[in-house]
Chains A and B, each alone.
Chain A
C-alpha cells in the first residue's frame, strides 16, 4: 500500500457542529502532517506528528485539535469552526520528518 487515504472526501458542517477528519497510511511512515489549503494557494502547514508525538503546532486555533492514535492513523477534530475555515484539508506522511512527503487527496470542508 503506497498511498495516503483521507475520509471523508467532502464535509459540510455548521459552526456549532463537532466533526472529525481521518487520515491513514500503511507505508510505515513515522511522520504525519496536517495542511490547510485555500483555493489558488499553496498548502499551509498546521501540525506535525513524529513517532505519534505532536512536534509542531503552527499557531493553529484551538478549534482544530489533532490526534495520532497510532503510527498509521491521524485525526483532526473540528469544533466551533468559522466560515473562513472552509478549505481543502490535506494529510501527508513521510518516512521520517526529513524525507519526502506524500499527500493524501484531501477533505473538502465547507463551514456554513
Chain B
C-alpha cells in the first residue's frame, strides 16, 4: 500500500514531442506528489509538485495532471528537448506531524533524440 508504481521504465521521444510519464498509488493518505529530475552522476532536483486539491499544475513546459479518483498522476513535458534527457522519479508523501518519508517510483529514463 506504500508503493508508487511508475511507468514506463524507459521512454524515447523525438525533439519537440510530448513526453508522458505515469504514476499510480494505493494509499489515499498520500497528499503531496513531487517529481524529481536526475541527470547522471547528479542528485535529484525537485522539478514540480502537486497536492490533490488541484487537478493540474503547470510550470513552463512541465505539467502535472492529477486524477484523485483514479489515484494516478502524470508528468507531461511539452516540446521535449535533448537537454530534458534524464531519469525522472515520481514520489508521494503523507503530510502532517511526523511525516518525512518520500515514497519514490522506480524511475523513468527519458531520452530525447534530435
With A41-B107, A42-B106: A90-B99 Cβ-Cβ less than 8 Å: no
Residue of A nearest to B49 (CB): A100
Q: Is the interface of B mostly helix, strand, loop or mixed?
A: loop
B45 at the interface (CB under 8 A from A): yes
Number of interface residues of B (CB under 8 A): 22
- A interface size (C-beta, 8 A): 26
A103:B43 contact, CB within 8 angstroms: yes
User: Could you tell me if B43 and A55 are in contact, using CB atoms closer than 8 angstroms?
Assistant: no
- Indicate which residue in A6, A40, A98, A100 contacts B107 across the interface (CB closer than 8 Å): A40
Kindly list chain B residues whose C-beta atoms are within 8 Å of the C-beta of A108.
Answer: 41
Q: A70-105, CB under 8 A of B: which get 1 and which 0?
A: 000000000000000000101010000110111111
Tell me if A45 counts as interface (CB < 8 A to partner B).
Answer: yes
CA distance A88 to B39 in the complex (A): 13
Residues of B within 8 A of A4 (CB): 43
Whether B99 and A106, one on each chain, are in contact in the complex, defined by CB atoms closer than 8 angstroms, is: no
Instruction: Say whether B42 contacts A97, CB under 8 Å.
Output: no
CB-contacts of B14-71 with A (<8 A): 34, 36, 41-46, 49
Partner of A41, one of B36, B41, B106: B106
Q: A106-B42, A106-B43 are in contact. Are A101 and B102 (CB under 8 A)?
A: yes
A55 touches B41 (CB 8 A): no
A11 contacts across to B, CB distance below 8 A? none
Pair A90/B43 contact, Cβ less than 8 Å: yes
Chain B residues near A (Cβ < 8 Å) = 34, 36, 41-46, 49, 89, 95-96, 98-102, 104-107, 109
- Which residues of A does B touch, CB under 8 Å? 4, 6, 31, 33, 40-43, 45, 48, 50, 55-56, 88, 90, 92, 97-98, 100-106, 108
